[in-house]
Chain A
């Protein structure tokens, strides 16, 4: 905890050397501190004339208060991983759109679990995910409850922007920023204040290339990545850089990305993976699947041994298709006996 008394006596240079992330605060708030390093925060504030403050729409009256708030949030955020991980997520049964009680009692999901969510469009998949993200306490239309590590969760999961519980990867997402892959990940890493940026960036690109059918490098602009490459980069980035312990995936199209490896990467980083899908390969990779009907969870099915056999057949078919894809991409002809290859 940073307190006002301590901060007010520190010179700006001292603050920056002890808490380097404060530089971002000054930059983003357009506060020019060049040449002010020897001043205390109090002296810095006093140097502005009233007309300057008005001209640039600055409100410095709360500078110390807001800076302290920002610093404490950052300190908490940086200390996060050591203190409190999310080991499990529990969903407590609520009701469907007609007010009928859900019958599953409770569903406990541990980290590194993959759970599929199935049900027709409009059946209530989004509501379930919203309940999780909001850590619902019987206060949403479904009346469901959410527990983290078996306990009623801290409100911070609702309100803090740096502690989002759920990271979302959806089908129609794009990169809208115009940067190279390297610059893009670096930007994300900076916002997370990670140490050894270059190492993390390299690790993500390596992981993404391991998932993608076609390779790319640090200099590739993100806007020129193919669909499969984008998905691979998003998944690798979320697995490695996102703080959110739960990853929600809305389908992964079966093109240009090895989906099994992608899920493995996520669970390897100890994420809880929820995947809304009707793709048999993906759904059967999950340990269990939640069936949603009329806004409620109508049942929870454990993937059976028989279904796992089906999955391995499906995986064979997938790999045949992937190989054919690679052949076509490489300019080869397709042979008639590919099925037995």
Chain B
């Protein structure tokens, strides 16, 4: 089985891109399944089901969704193996722009959109910088110049990535993305012992543990202050 991790900010178009890409891959007789990771709510699993794609969803609830991802990825892979998938795609939203679910030697795709602003490539951390393929969406609504500036900024933070434009509505570019995903020859049946490309942040303060009250006396653990001095 071939494992591909898709990641990207909320509403960047991950699900649309994945659906269109699967459509293209399925034409070649391959079986593709999806695991959708999200935080509080998603009904994207219905969209996948409608498209006839085997799907499972995982809601992280009160936990950090990326930590939740790592704690579950091996079970997810076993589900894919059991279902005899040729390609297993994981989809997760990078919520704090800090984490990334990418695993060493496993294909990593980051989806970001042209509408998110020219400085977005600078703001997104390892999720963008450590990706193998960067898919840029919503190119049909912005000018050619904005598309060019945006993709050149993506390349300046991640020079080694393949940068592609995919239109999640019409599917333009999805066939091509499918080709690249399919060409990856790294077959796996477990991710045990593999490593993340980048460490997830340590965040353990009183608020992680359910504290609601505001004020210094309630802040414990890993706490940092803004420098307010002039």
Chain A residues with a Cβ under 8 A of chain B: 24-25, 27-30, 54, 57, 59, 66, 69-70, 73, 126, 129-130, 134, 139-141, 158-162, 164, 167-170, 172-177, 184-185, 187-188, 191-192, 230, 234, 237-238, 241-242
Contact = CB atoms under 8 A, between A and B. Distances in A.
A173 B148 CA distance: 14
Given A57-B98, A188-B148, A66 B159 contact: yes
A73 B158 CA distance: 12
Contacts of B98: 57
B143 A57 contact: no
B109 to A, nearest CB: 14
Contacts of A139: 179
A176 B140 CA distance: 12
B106 to A, nearest CB: 17
12 contacts: A27-B122, A69-B159, A73-B155, A162-B151, A168-B139, A172-B141, A173-B142, A176-B141, A187-B118, A191-B149, A191-B152, A241-B145
B146 A176 contact: yes
Nearest to A69: B159
Interface string B150-164: 011111111110110
Contacts of A30: 122
B145 A188 contact: yes
A187 B175 CA distance: 32
B165 to A, nearest CB: 8
A-B complex: 3 closest residue pairs judged by Cβ atoms? A161-B163, A57-B125, A70-B159
Contacts of A159: 162-163
Interface of B: 27, 98, 114-115, 118, 121-122, 125-126, 129-130, 139-146, 148-149, 151-160, 162-163, 170, 172-173, 175-176, 179, 198-199, 201-202
A168 B176 CA distance: 18
Contact of B143 (A28, A126, A160, A175): A175
A170 B119 CA distance: 24
Given A54-B202, A191-B152, A242-B148, 13 more contacts: A28-B122, A29-B129, A54-B201, A57-B126, A66-B158, A70-B159, A126-B170, A130-B172, A139-B179, A161-B163, A172-B140, A184-B145, A191-B153
Given A28-B121, A188-B149, A73 B198 contact: no
Contact of A59 (B118, B129, B152, B163): B129
